[in-house]
């Protein structure tokens, strides 16, 4: 297993550590684990591209590791009353729809690359989560809500973009 894939797996392993810390009220430690895990996402991609270490494992596991990390945090936020459950339903619906579109495309021999709107959605989520972990009254609370709502808007936009941009896949079936 190459270094980028090891970093991806480290991100997956960090998830239960993050969960335990957050549930025990150790928000600063949970914040640090989330930030470090998020940085492995940036680092593994840079290393993979720079040294031509892109693998099928990495193509599948890297975005999956991101989703497990971020959506675990969202589940915790719902449990703690920091975020309403309906927001996660919208986010997960988008993920299932995009996965469905990609599956239909793959069945027809077509690969759909990640769109910029999906990347922006992920970045907004990765900013919202640490702010929501800290969620202290005042500026941090306000910024946390702004980034959460911005990520939700980009979730809807990127989902609509995938469906509209690949509508011919459904017409052909």
Domain span at 57: 1-80
Estimate the crossing angle of helix 139-165 against helix 116-134, to 10 degrees: 160
- Of 80, 110, 138, the one marking the end of a domain is 80
Per the structure, the count of domains in the chain is: 2
> What is the per-residue pLDDT across 15-59, written as a single tens digit (0 to 9) for each?
999 999 999 999 999 999 999 999 998 899 899 999 999 988 888
The DSSP annotation for 77-135 comes to HHHTTSS-HHHHHHHHHHHHHHHHHHHHHHHTT--PPPPHHHHHHHHHHHHHHHHHHH-
117 vs 105, higher pLDDT: 117
- From 80, 113, 136, give the residue that closes a domain: 80
**Domain ends where: 46, 80, 114?**
80
Same domain for 73 and 88, yes or no, is no
Across 99-126, average pLDDT: 87
Q: What is the pTM of this model?
A: 0.91
Q: Is the pLDDT of residue 172 over 60?
A: no
* Count of H-run helices and E-run strands, the chain: 7, 0
Give the whole-angstrom CA distance, residue 71 versus residue 77: 10
Q: Are residues 51 and 96 in the same domain?
A: no
Residues 6+ apart with CB under 8 A from 144: 128, 131, 132, 134, 135
Q: Which DSSP symbol is given to 113?
A: P
């Amino acid at each position: 297993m190459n270094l980028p894939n090891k970093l991806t797996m480290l991100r997956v392993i960090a998830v239960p550590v993050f969960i335990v810390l957050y549930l025990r009220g150790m928000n600063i430690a949970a914040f640090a684990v989330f930030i470090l895990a998020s940085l492995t996402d940036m680092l593994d991609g840079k290393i993979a591209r720079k040294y031509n270490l892109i693998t099928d494992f990495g193509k599948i596991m890297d975005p999956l590791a991101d989703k497990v990390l971020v959506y675990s945090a969202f589940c915790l936020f719902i449990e703690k009353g920091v975020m309403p459950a309906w927001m996660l339903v919208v986010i997960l619906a988008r993920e299932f729809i995009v996965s469905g579109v990609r599956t239909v495309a793959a069945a027809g021999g077509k690969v759909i690359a990640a769109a910029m709107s999906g990347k922006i959605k992920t970045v907004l989520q990765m900013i919202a989560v640490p702010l929501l972990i800290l969620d202290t009254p005042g500026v941090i609370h306000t910024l946390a809500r702004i980034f959460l709502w911005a990520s939700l808007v980009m979730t809807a936009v990127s989902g609509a973009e995938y469906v509209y941009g690949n509508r011919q896949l459904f017409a052909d079936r």
